[in-house]
Amino acid sequence: MQEEVNTVHEVKLLANAVAGRAVDLVATDGARAWTDGHTIFLTEASERDRRGMVVAQAALIAAESFEPQIVRRLTARRRVRLRYLTLEVLRAIELLEDLAPPAVKRRVREAYSTAAPRSAGESLARASSNEPVPEAPLWMGTIKPSRILRAGPSVPETLPFVVRIAPVDEELDEDHGSGTSRMRDFLSTIGLRPPAPDTGKTLVAAGQRGAGRAGGEMVAAGRPVARSRTTRLALDSLAHMPAMLQPPGGGHRYPEWDWRQGAHRKDWCVVREHDPRSRELVAVNRSDDPRLRRELARLGLADERRRGQPDGDSLDLTALVDHVVDTSTGSSDEARVYEARTRTSHDLGVVVLLDVTGSTADSGEGAKVFDAQREVAARLIDALDELGDRVAGYGFHGWGRSGVRFARIKRFDDRFDRAAQQRLASLEPGGFTRLGAAIRHASHLLVEGSGTVNRLLVVVGDGRPYDDDYEHRYAQEDSRRALSESVLQGVACSCVSVKTDTDDEILERVWGHVPYLRLEQVADLHREVVPLFRRSLRQAASAGKDGRSTLRPHHQ
């Protein structure tokens, strides 16, 4: 099993390269490989066939072969489907021109050598005609219309949790026929209309706005707990729904800690990044906090060589020669001929991780609390960016273990400019808190992207984990574990919350071993934050040497 997973990862780069965007790969049983437009499902095959099927299926994604009105006409017509596949792979490979691997191109031509169709429509027409089109060979895989229609359009989406429902005729669906109608039921239960493709709505945000509508508050409260019998029924029948709501594209897989088993669940969570797009122009004020900047300037310092010093560890030869010249000409006899190391250079990489989940808004003053936490994130990012530290900002929320979403506010290499400020301002709280996966991904970003020795992860939020199948002790132990693992990797962790009412017991279990700050008002930030960050950085720095024993998550 493990081996199979590995072989899938190996072809990911190839699939991404041919498709021109991130594609997921999954090993599956069955005779033929297939794709739903976002994920390619691979079957057992020889090396050569495996590469062939990856290229063929990824090329179909690149060529956008899966228009719903065409795919719908392939349902329940196996022969037409496989002939269509032959023609579409031919079209896709030709479309790729130089990007197609020559060997696969030759194999496609061997399968059927003819003029390539110019469109998917032409392919369908020719596949249905009496042209002697051969059925696609085994290595090309197959097409599964129902899966494609269910997965939705293959254009990358930007909004989190955009629900798109293709108007599927039930009788055309081959398996799990009632899935879509159940989904539609569910959406109307929680006060959502199945949106038309171009007016896609953020599921959770919409639920929140529509709090007055039937069942709306269920999601607005940020908890996946069904409050009425109807919604519970809908939820039960839709245990697999979050996976169906997945936006396309790749993702980062992370394990999750199961404290009962005392083991990690491998590749359990999927974290995806996206660029939030503000629908209307949000007016933003720069969150400039000079006092905070002055405080943070003392953080994450590193050695710097300074030449021409009056004292120091080694001689500065240029200064020494100058000194000889100066004394022989009698112009000066000040002997600044040493080189010293001083702690004046900045070496600090920070990820500010803002909790944009519904639970933040889960109180009487919900909106105010979230705005205060957003302001904390803005001030931290602004001050650190201004100081020349490596800082990145992300908002996170999600639904389900494969639906953790990271909204990019500012990557390490971006400036905190108006566009970035607007991305931050446009975030609306919604969804749930898979804290462990979020911490793991943020640590990964720090380790991979910061390029600094001092690395700091700052979670801004109430610090309370909560998600689908991710509650109570399980969620708390996993979050705690994720923090410990990060610290052991040399990533300093801390949490800043404003006006939260999270239970002390939860805080103790999740955050007990790393610095946690509870603020009453944003204006206090500059006073508290540097000692907090300094404790975190010290903890991470010592973790590699002797801190391990105190950081081990407790086993039961």
From candidates 49, 87, 92, 101, binder to another protein by CB under 8 A: 101
Residue 264 three-state SS: strand
Closer residue to another protein, CB minimum distance, 22 or 233: 22
From candidates 324, 335, 453, 523, binder to another protein by CB under 8 A: 324
Helix (H) or strand (E) run with residue 229 in it: helix 229-237
From candidates 75, 360, 452, 454, binder to another protein by CB under 8 A: 452
From candidates 36, 39, 49, 51, binder to another protein by CB under 8 A: 51
Site for another protein in 10-49 (CB under 8 A): 10-14, 16-18, 20-22, 47-48
Site for another protein in 282-311 (CB under 8 A): 305, 307
Rounded least distance, CB 303 to another protein, Å: 13
From candidates 250, 358, 366, 436, binder to another protein by CB under 8 A: 250
- Give 100-156 as a DSSP string: S-HHHHHHHHHH--SPPPSSHHHHHHHHHSSS-PPPPPGGG----HHHHHHH---S-
Closer residue to another protein, CB minimum distance, 310 or 451: 451
Give the other-Cβ count within 10 Å of 473's Cβ.
Answer: 12
Site for another protein in 363-422 (CB under 8 A): 388, 390, 413, 415
Closer residue to another protein, CB minimum distance, 23 or 124: 23
Burial status of residue 555 (CB atoms within 10 A of its CB: 0-12, 13-18, 19 or more)? exposed
Instruction: Name the DSSP letter for residue 459.
Output: E
Residues in contact with 154: Cβ distance below 8 Å, sequence separation at least 6, in sequence order: 37, 38, 61, 64, 66, 248
Among 102-110, 259-267, 418-426, 543-551, the segment contacting another protein (CB under 8 A): 102-110
155 binding another protein? (CB under 8 A) = no
**Per-residue mark of binding to another protein, 208-247 (x: CB under 8 A):** ----------------------------------------
From candidates 104, 203, 381, 435, binder to another protein by CB under 8 A: 104
- Partners of residue 26 on adjacent β-strands: 41
Closer residue to another protein, CB minimum distance, 102 or 212: 102
Structure tokens at 288: 């400039």
Please work out, in degrees rounded to the nearest 5, the angle formed at the alpha carbon of residue 370 by the alpha carbons of 366 and 374. 170
Closer residue to another protein, CB minimum distance, 11 or 218: 11
Rounded Cα distance, 7 and 32, in Å: 17
- Any idea how long the chain is? 556
Closer residue to another protein, CB minimum distance, 101 or 312: 101
- Give 342-355 as a DSSP string: EEEEE-EEEEEEEE
**Per-residue mark of binding to another protein, 472-491 (x: CB under 8 A):** --------------------
Please work out, in degrees rounded to the nearest 5, the angle formed at the alpha carbon of residue 535 by the alpha carbons of 530 and 536. 100
Among 87-95, 318-326, 368-376, 502-510, the segment contacting another protein (CB under 8 A): 318-326
Closer residue to another protein, CB minimum distance, 155 or 321: 321
Give the closest residue to 434 by CA, choosing from 171, 255, 245, 177: 255
Contact 109, 101 (CB under 8 A): no
Give the closest residue to 462 by CA, choosing from 504, 499, 497: 497
Specify the residue for token string 């989904």: 183
Closer residue to another protein, CB minimum distance, 290 or 388: 388
Rounded least distance, CB 428 to another protein, Å: 26
Instruction: Name the DSSP letter for residue 198.
Output: G
**Per-residue mark of binding to another protein, 325-364 (x: CB under 8 A):** x--x-----------------xx-----------------
Rounded least distance, CB 269 to another protein, Å: 17
Structure tokens at 267: 């590749």
Percentages helix, strand, coil for the chain (3-state, rounded to 5) are 45, 20, 35
- Give 35-72 as a DSSP string: E-SSEEEE----HHHHHHHHHHHHHHHHTT---HHHHG
Site for another protein in 115-154 (CB under 8 A): none
Contact 208, 219 (CB under 8 A): yes
Among 5-13, 256-264, 464-472, 503-511, the segment contacting another protein (CB under 8 A): 5-13
Among 92-100, 367-375, 393-401, 481-489, the segment contacting another protein (CB under 8 A): 92-100
Instruction: State which amino acid sits at residue 464.
Output: R
From candidates 197, 449, 512, 553, binder to another protein by CB under 8 A: 449
Closer residue to another protein, CB minimum distance, 20 or 68: 20
Rounded least distance, CB 106 to another protein, Å: 9
Instruction: State which amino acid sits at residue 165.
Output: I
- Partners of residue 27 on adjacent β-strands: 42
Residue 10 three-state SS: helix
Rounded least distance, CB 14 to another protein, Å: 5
Among 98-106, 206-214, 282-290, 478-486, the segment contacting another protein (CB under 8 A): 98-106
Q: Which residues make up the interface to another protein (CB under 8 A)?
A: 6, 9-14, 16-18, 20-22, 47-48, 51, 54-55, 98-104, 249-250, 305, 307, 318, 321-322, 324-325, 328, 346-347, 388, 390, 413, 415, 449, 451-452
